Chain A
Amino acid sequence: MAPALLTSGLAKRYGRVEALGGVDLEVGTGELVGLLGPNGAGKSTLVKIACGLVRPTAGRAEICGAPAGSKAARASLGYLAELFRFPGWYSADEVLRLHQRLGGSGGGEAERRELLELVGLTDARDRKVETMSKGMQQRLGIAQALVGDPRLLLLDEPTSALDPAGRRVVRRLLTTLRDRGVSVLLNSHLLTEVELVCDRVVILLNGAVAAAGTPAELERPQGVEVETDGGVRRYPDATREDIPGIVAALVADGEPVYAVRLVAPTLEEAYLRVVGEDPT
């Protein structure tokens, strides 16, 4: 089966500005991939190319085996833009009904009801969009992206306007979708959120993949710290397996050892290191 999203040498220039400089990326079926990077790294451009809103300068992008932007590709994906708006005169239910018609979904009222329930908007079914808070609109946007049972979900900052409870709802939703075999590319600045739900993380920097792997791989130990009478001694290349040897050598030298710590950075520290910022 073709991967949900595959990009190869994907590049995009806006005039003299290079937004993407040849990105290779794959999101497998049922995989939840987090896309991280500083502002201007090319994350939104990549997502927009994937859903056919932006044309690449070079390279290719495929959605479930179909060229990005083609009708078949668009039929396979759900998309929530970073900046989006629904007509204010529509109710939540009408927004979903419009997208059911546009996407050719035959889910009817049952699908709309289920989606509104999934995002916690059951009580706002008949509420006009213009009377909704930004957070409610964002949840409606997620429900809209799920219309028609897409195989790939492209979410660009889906929780930026949500409160902690709303973010929790979305996290649960994402894991539910993964269990159902839906692939998700999650573009977010909220690292803890990405750390909690994503199978893999891709960090973009200046339009290129600077690091990729599972959260555990990115958070791999960065040495060992030992607290002695002489202060904290750092062994940056040491691993967990080196600890007994280090301790034995210190004790043999007559140094009392008070504490030993394996230095394991959080995803945030790993991210900051990749993008060239000081984690401290």
Chain B
Amino acid sequence: MKGVAIIVGYALEESLRRKIFVIVLVLTAAFLGLYGLGAEKAFDEVDTFSGGSGIPGVDERTLAGATLLGLAMFGTLFLGAVLAVFLTLSVVRGDAERGLLQPLVVRPLGRNSLLAGRFAAAAAVCGVYVGLVFAGAAGITYWAGGWWPDRFWLPAAELALAVVIIAALSLVGSVFLSATANGIAVFMVFGAGLVAGLLGQIGEAINSQTLLDVADRAAWALPFEALYQDALNAISSKSFGLTAEALQLGPFGGAQSGGHYLWPWIVVYLGIAAVVASVFFARKDL
């Protein structure tokens, strides 16, 4: 465990010294600033549109608030994925090709400790980052329109866990692929997951079992997407009637809930990722 802690410290120091945190904070501030501006205008438009009389059966503030926060969650997941990928894409092969890895792994700490340390550091940074950005977006939504998600902690945890899974995939990829190839591969996988989720939304809207099945299989294979969908579902879980229907038809409506097996599957999935990375890294010539 001591070796893992040293590598966690090394990885965090790397992020600090290379000014990764500064860049991320500046870009995040810009993202939340733009989101705040957009949310305020959107809620103003809702008030103008409904004219105070409202659309029968639809809670416009919930519809606007959940859709806006859903959009913010998409942005948060994307930013978290970028951070997760850049913190892990070159951990094994990329660093070995640059000659950074060899001096570390010949030390007694061992290869598994190095993997565990790099993963723990990336997971902690990305998980906390995504949780804070989600909280910021929820706070801005409340400030702009007085709307607060039906559930807060669950979607925050699910978004954080989604980027942890992306970090794990990127770490596994780094055992096999060079840094550039790994970055491209993980972003393509990330995109495939999001597309599968949108297919599910479309399937829900047009009542297509085939599209729903495709989305379901993709969500099991890429559970960060299932977590994202479940998080979207959770922010408006108490909505009902026409409001819920309208939300489900939108792109951030949370049509699919993860179900009872989602969290156990996440544990198994991360376990499989850890075993694959460990076994193949142990056999890798550096």
Contact = CB atoms under 8 A, between A and B. Distances in A.
B111 to A, nearest CB: 9
Contacts of A54: 285-286
Interface in A74-93: 74-75, 77, 79, 81, 83-87, 89-90
A81 B105 contact: no
5 contacts: A51-B106, A53-B106, A84-B100, A86-B103, A102-B107
Contacts of A55: 283, 285
A74 B108 contact: yes
A104 interface: yes
B10 interface: yes
B108 A48 contact: no
Given A79-B103, A81-B102, A102-B104, A87 B14 contact: yes
B95 to A, nearest CB: 9
Given A86-B100, A102-B3, 20 more contacts: A52-B105, A54-B285, A74-B106, A74-B107, A75-B108, A79-B102, A81-B99, A81-B102, A81-B103, A84-B99, A84-B100, A86-B103, A87-B17, A87-B100, A89-B14, A89-B18, A101-B6, A102-B6, A102-B108, A102-B109
Nearest to A95: B103
Given A53-B285, A54-B286, A55-B285, A99 B107 contact: yes
Contacts of B109: 102
Contacts of A90: 17
A43 to B, nearest CB: 15
Contact of B108 (A53, A71, A83): A71
A178 to B, nearest CB: 22
Nearest to A128: B17
A144 interface: yes
Contacts of A190: none
A98 interface: yes
A82 to B, nearest CB: 9
A103 interface: yes
The 10 residue pairs across chains A and B that have the minimum distance between CB atoms: A89-B17, A102-B107, A85-B99, A84-B99, A53-B286, A54-B285, A75-B108, A83-B99, A81-B102, A51-B106
Contacts of A77: 106
Contacts of B102: 53, 79, 81, 84
A102 B104 CA distance: 8
Contacts of B271: none
B110 interface: yes
A85 B90 CA distance: 14
A279 to B, nearest CB: 35
Contacts of B286: 48, 53-54
A101 to B, nearest CB: 5
B10 to A, nearest CB: 7
Interface in B83-105: 98-100, 102-105
Contacts of A71: 108, 110
B18 A104 contact: no
A153 to B, nearest CB: 12
Interface string B1-30: 001001000100010011000000000000
Contacts of A87: 14, 17, 100
| Among B98, B99, B108, residue most surrounded by chain A Cβ atoms (within 10 Å) | B108
A81 B286 CA distance: 11
Contacts of B3: 102
Contacts of A79: 102-103, 106
Nearest to B5: A101
Contacts of B106: 51-53, 74, 77, 79
A222 B49 CA distance: 103
B18 to A, nearest CB: 6
A201 to B, nearest CB: 25
Given A54-B285, A102-B3, A102-B6, A85 B108 contact: no
Nearest to B103: A84
A85 B98 contact: yes
Nearest to A141: B103
B106 to A, nearest CB: 5
B8 to A, nearest CB: 12
